[in-house]
Amino acid sequence: MSSIQVRPATLRDAKAIAQIHTVSAQEAYKGLVPDEQLKAMSSVEKRQAYWREAIEYCEPQVQVAVDGEKIVGFVGYDRSRDEKSRPTTGEIWAIYAAPTHWNQGVGLALWDAARDGLQEEGCTNVTAWVPLRNERALRFHELAGFKRELSTAKTAIIGGVKIEEVRLKRPING
């Protein structure tokens, strides 16, 4: 296993983040959404603009995982976006590793960084919304101590595609 370092993202990282977001989402959602809709989700430019803005305004806070000089994953986290959530509830808005680095500790390193960042902000709990059919993402979050809140299942529109999601939650120190 390589040594993965995590650091705050800079504006220069937006393109690499967008590329990882695109390729990872396409790989993760293969078989979950029709191929033509996967292609519609493949705009690196749109994602690059989104992540540039997120990095610039720290909404969400973005950190990248680096293997040597290469960015191999990223996490976006902040306060929960859910209505009626407590101010002490954080949320993992996005966490992705390049498919070439799946199962190599990138996700864990990113989760640790996000947990530390949320703890510094005074959060005591953290949530994440995960597609119900994305077994890899559900398994990752459950191994990290998240529990499914089944009553929260909802349909989300991601890239024009309807996807059933469920919220997972865990204490920051758990």
Identify the CATH number of the domain in which residue 20 sits.
3.40.630.30
Alpha-helix residue ranges (DSSP H) falling in the chain = 14-29, 35-40, 44-57, 106-120, 135-143
15 Cβ contact partners less than 8 Å away, ≥ 6 residues apart: 44, 48
In a domain, 168, yes or no: no
Share of the chain above pLDDT 90, in %: 69
Residue 151 lies in a domain: no
Q: Which residue range is the domain that position 35 belongs to? A: 3-127
What is 43-72 written as a DSSP string? -HHHHHHHHHHHHHHTSSEEEEEEETTEEE
Report yes or no on 83 lying in a domain.
yes
Is residue 162 a part of any domain in this protein? no
Six-digit token string for 52: 């540039």
Taking residues 5-20, what's their average pLDDT? 96
Residue 95 has pLDDT above 70, yes or no: yes
Is 134 domain-assigned? no
Peptide bond preceding 60 in cis form (omega within 30 of 0): yes
pTM value is 0.91
> What is the number of structural domains in the chain?
1
Domain membership of residue 106 (yes or no) is: yes
Q: Is residue 139 part of a domain?
A: no
Burial 153-173 (b: 16+ CB within 10 A, else e): eeeeeebebebebbbbbbebe
Both tokens of 19, joined, read: 């590329």
Residue 149 belongs to some domain of the structure:
no
Band (14; pLDDT cuts 50, 70, 90): very high
